């Protein structure tokens, strides 16, 4: 076969092969394009789904922010209530602990008090109380009685109980104190019992001792006797006045029984006097010419609180038959009240007993009155 005869066949074969290759390659490219389109479509779908999820999350987040904004005040209020409840719980726990400590302290104090009651009073303290009783009686203060004390330290009695019985008025006053001091004014002839860390009770009335102590003034007293019998307790100040140039009249002293009887009569009369303050004579030294000598007079209000006191050289009940008036006549001394201190001259200071008649005064004192 000549070259010119097989050349067309060769070219035809090459053309067929090229056409076949082109068809195959076209199919391959179409398949690849389809896959790429499918992948792109899937990616678009995934992107759309992600966008939808993101939008849903954003809406949920917005809803959460809205709910948070609405609930924030409530949450803050609940947090405040929770903190307040925790604080109350802590305060309650602290109170329970304090109450427990207080109860334990009270139990300890009661146990100590019971032990102190069972323990006998020290002999030195007992002798001190006996000396106090004797000195009080010697000065006419027969209504006072020391019930107990636990110790005598630094010129102070500890854990003292003193009973003051007013027989004329049927009143009883109890002094209870952790400590008590005794101070003597030599010049005035005054003795002050001062009570600390305690109280005074008269009937239903209760009075706590102030920080500087609750004073009980006794006047007149024999200072030398107190210093002689109780040098370890009495704190004395001042100088004793010079003795009078003339001796006192004889027969002015009284025994204890007679003095108590006259005190009962006099205070019984004063108890019906109708005065603004209830008058009461705590002591006197003797009698002369119808007058009570060296008298201590107190005035109490309706609550039985001491409002005034007077110490005078003589006191007598003066009656005016024509006017139908009865008065107390005080001579020589001092009077103390809330307004201050005033002197009582020898000319006398009178106090009207408005509810007492001359006859009642004479009957009560067996005629021992002064006519005006």
For 241, phi then psi, to 5°, come to -65, 155
| Residue 166: predicted pLDDT | 67
Token reading at 168 = 């004329």
**Residue 127 burial class via C-beta count within 10 angstroms: exposed 0-12, middle 13-18, buried 19 and up:** middle
Whether residue 219 contacts residue 188, with contact meaning beta carbons closer than 8 Å, is answered with: yes
Cα gap 7→14, rounded to integer Å: 10
Kindly provide the b/e burial profile for residues 207-226, where b requires at least 16 CB atoms within 10 angstroms of the residue's own CB: bebeeebbebbbbbbebeeb
Cα gap 80→359, rounded to integer Å: 82
Cα gap 176→148, rounded to integer Å: 10
Predicted TM-score (pTM) of the model is 0.46
**pLDDT by residue, tens only, the chain of 372 residues:** 555 566 666 767 776 777 777 777 777 776 666 666 676 677 777 777 777 777 777 777 777 677 667 667 777 777 777 778 777 777 767 777 777 777 677 677 666 655 555 567 888 899 999 999 989 988 888 888 999 999 999 899 999 999 988 644 557 889 999 999 999 999 988 999 999 999 999 877 889 999 999 999 998 888 999 999 999 999 999 998 876 544 444 445 677 778 888 888 999 999 988 898 989 888 888 888 889 998 888 888 887 777 888 888 899 999 998 889 999 999 988 888 877 778 888 788 999 999 999 999 999 888 888 888
The full DSSP string for 231-279 is TTTEEEES-PPPPPSSPPPTT-B--HHHHHHHHHHHHHHHTTS--SSEE
| Residue 251: predicted pLDDT | 43
| Closest C-alpha among 179, 123, 183, 174 to residue 145 | 174
E strands along the chain, which residues? 144-148, 151-153, 156-166, 171-185, 190-202, 205-208, 214-218, 234-237, 278-283, 286-288, 291-300, 306-320, 325-337, 340-344, 349-352, 370-371
| Residue 344: predicted pLDDT | 87
Whether residue 257 contacts residue 337, with contact meaning beta carbons closer than 8 Å, is answered with: no
Q: Where are the domains of the chain?
A: 123-237, 256-371
């Amino acid at each position: 076969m000549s070259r010119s005869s097989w050349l067309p066949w060769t070219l035809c074969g090459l053309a067929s092969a090229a056409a076949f290759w082109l068809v195959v390659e076209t199919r391959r490219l179409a398949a690849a394009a389809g896959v790429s389109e499918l992948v792109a479509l899937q990616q678009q779908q995934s992107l759309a789904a992600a966008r939808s999820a993101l939008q849903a999350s954003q809406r949920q987040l917005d809803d959460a922010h809205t709910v948070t904004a609405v609930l924030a005040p409530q949450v803050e209020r609940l947090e405040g209530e929770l903190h307040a409840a925790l604080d109350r719980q802590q305060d309650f726990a602290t109170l329970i602990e304090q109450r427990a400590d207080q109860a334990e302290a009270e139990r300890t104090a009661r146990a100590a008090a019971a032990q102190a009651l069972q323990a006998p009073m020290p002999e030195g303290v007992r002798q001190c109380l006996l000396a106090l009783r004797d000195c009080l009686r010697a000065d006419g203060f027969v209504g006072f009685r020391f019930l107990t004390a636990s110790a005598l330290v630094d010129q102070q009695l500890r854990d003292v109980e003193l009973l003051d019985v007013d027989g004329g008025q049927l009143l009883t006053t109890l002094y209870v104190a952790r400590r008590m001091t005794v101070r003597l004014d030599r010049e005035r002839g005054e003795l002050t019992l001062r009570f600390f860390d305690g109280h005074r009770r008269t009937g239903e009335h209760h009075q706590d001792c102030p920080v500087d102590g609750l004073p009980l003034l006794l006047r007149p007293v024999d200072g030398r006797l107190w210093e002689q019998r109780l040098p370890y307790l009495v704190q004395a100040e001042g100088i004793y006045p010079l003795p009078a140039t003339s001796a006192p009249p004889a027969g002015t002293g009284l025994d204890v029984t007679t003095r108590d009887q006259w005190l009962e009569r006099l205070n019984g009369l004063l108890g019906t006097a109708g005065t603004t303050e209830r008058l009461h004579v705590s002591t006197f030294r003797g009698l002369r010419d119808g007058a009570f000598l060296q008298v201590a007079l107190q005035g109490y209000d309706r609550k039985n609180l001491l409002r005034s006191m007077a110490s005078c050289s003589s006191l007598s009940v003066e009656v005016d038959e024509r006017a139908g008036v009865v008065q107390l006549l005080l001579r020589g001394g001092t009077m103390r009240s809330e307004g201050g201190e005033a002197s009582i001259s020898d000319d006398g200071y009178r106090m009207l007993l408005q509810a007492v008649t001359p006859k009642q005064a004479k009957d009560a004192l067996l005629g021992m009155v002064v006519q005006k």
